[in-house]
Each structure stands twice: as C-alpha cells, then as structure tokens.
Amino acid sequence: KQEVTQIPAALSVPEGENLVLNCSFTDSAIYNLQWFRQDPGKGLTSLLLIQSSQREQTSGRLNASLDKSSGRSTLYIAASQPGDSATYLCAVIVLTGGGNKLTFGTGTQLKVEL
Amino acid sequence: GAVVSQHPSWVICKSGTSVKIECRSLDFQATTMFWYRQFPKQSLMLMATSNEGSKATYEQGVEKDKFLINHASLTLSTLTVTSAHPEDSSFYICSARDLTRNQPQHFGDGTRLSIL
C-alpha cells in the first residue's frame, strides 16, 4: 500500500526566506506527482505536476523536484511571502482502470510571518 | 477553464438526516469523478471513484450503502450521506477529470458537513 509522508508537518518562517518542503513515498511505481496548496476550509489549488519521466518543474517562485527511485520529492519556495501561508499537499498518482488515482501526503502547514 | 463547482459549501443538520452534496464540472465533460473526505488536520482520503453511467468503485472501508454516489451525467455527480451521524462530520471534496483528454483532476472547493 502506498504511503506518502510530508516533513515537516508545520513550518513558520519570516518573510523573504527560501524554504524546502519534503515529500516521500514508499512505492516508486508512480505515474506522476503533484503538489497542491490548500487554504483553510477550501479545496485544492494545483501548483505543479511532475511526470515520472521528469526530474523537476518550475512555476514562478516554485520549483518541484522528483527522485522517483528514492521515493522523494521536494517543493522549493523562493522569497516566501505572507500570501504563501497555507497547507501544502503532495500527491502521488498511479494509473488505474478508472483513471488516475491520487494518494495524498499528510501535508505541511506553512506560515510566513511579516 | 476546468472549473469544478461543489454545492453546498457548508451544511449543518441533525443526526439521522440524509445530506446530498453536488459536484458539477462547469466547462468540461467529467468522465470520471472522485470523492474525498478530509478530517481536521488530516490529509485527503479517497472514498470512491465514479465513471459516468456506471456504479461507483468504493475504497476499502467506505460503506457504499452509507455514502451513495450517483454520476448520471457528464457534468454532475452527487454524494448522499444517508442517516448522517456526528462521526460523519468532515470536509468532503470532489474532483473531476476528462479521461478522454488525459487531463489532471480538477478539485471543487469542498463541503463542510457538521452533524449535530
């Protein structure tokens, strides 16, 4: 059974700091990996999707890497801002007969302080 | 594009009531819809997957008679929590994708269900 773990569970940093969020998964037979942002009481906003054949994806201040063989992904946030405060979830994606199945990590709750 | 609308966003009801949650894809055909549940400070757990016109496939441990899923059209799926009890209180999120276009899942904004 796939298990997805995120470290740290919570993180508080001052504005402007660069930071790294970690995601690890136990079964490396994945199709894709996706990072999401969730604001309190809200749904999910997709940030980056990395295909299993790729090693990283970038969007603005965000960079996500994937090391499939070691079962790890990182999300790098540059020059953090208070608006980045949210819970960040990674999800590994496997192919099933009914479509892609996502298994979510435990999440990292990020707070960026002024 | 690729907007998923979930309704209601918040519902409070008495124990024993049945509650229906709607999930609509507004600008694409959702061949497949997914229902997730999220307890406080926990991650999303997949409850079931439904393909349009077919019976839903439930994950292990999810009671199909408790959580009724209907996906009768390419733009609408409903989740009905039957005879809800306080332990069913949770945040329910749907997602949808068009399997024919190999697109990722698009998520709704979730429904906060509180059973008194």
Give pLDDT tens digits for A74-102: 999 999 999 999 999 999 998 876 667 89
CA B51 to chain centroid, in Å, comes to 13
CA distance A73 to chain B (A): 17
Does residue B2 surpass a pLDDT of 80?
Answer: no
Q: Please judge whether A106 and B49 are an interchain contact, meaning their C-beta atoms are less than 8 angstroms apart.
A: no
CA distance B55 to chain A (A): 11
The pLDDT value recorded for residue B46 is 94
User: In A70-114, which ranges are E strands?
Assistant: 72-77, 86-96, 99-104, 108-113
CA distances from A78 to A10, A37, A52, A89, A111 (A): 18, 15, 24, 17, 14
Q: Give which of B39, B5, B34, B2 is closest to B109, Cα–Cα.
A: B5
Distance CA A88, CA A2 (A): 19
The pLDDT value recorded for residue A59 is 95
The pLDDT value recorded for residue B100 is 80
CA distance B15 to chain A (A): 22
The pLDDT value recorded for residue B34 is 94
The pLDDT value recorded for residue A16 is 97
Q: Please judge whether A41 and B31 are an interchain contact, meaning their C-beta atoms are less than 8 angstroms apart.
A: no
Share of chain A above pLDDT 90, in %: 83
The pLDDT value recorded for residue A98 is 62
> Do A102 and A93 form a contact (C-beta atoms < 8 A)?
yes
B103 CB near a chain A CB, below 8 Å?
no
Mean pLDDT throughout A95-114? 88
The string of pLDDT tens digits covering residues B63-88 is 999 999 999 899 999 999 999 999 99
The pLDDT value recorded for residue A11 is 95
The DSSP code for A78 is: -
Mean pLDDT throughout B28-36? 92
Which residues of B are less than 8 Å from A57 in CB distance? none
> Do A44 and B107 form a contact (C-beta atoms < 8 A)?
yes
Which residues of B are less than 8 Å from A49 in CB distance? 104
The pLDDT value recorded for residue B1 is 67
Q: Give which of B108, B47, B101 is closest to A99, Cα–Cα.
A: B101
Q: Please judge whether B46 and A99 are an interchain contact, meaning their C-beta atoms are less than 8 angstroms apart.
A: no
The pLDDT value recorded for residue A41 is 84
The pLDDT value recorded for residue B99 is 77
- Mean pLDDT is lowest, of A62-66, A94-98, B103-107, for A94-98
Mean pLDDT throughout A39-45? 88
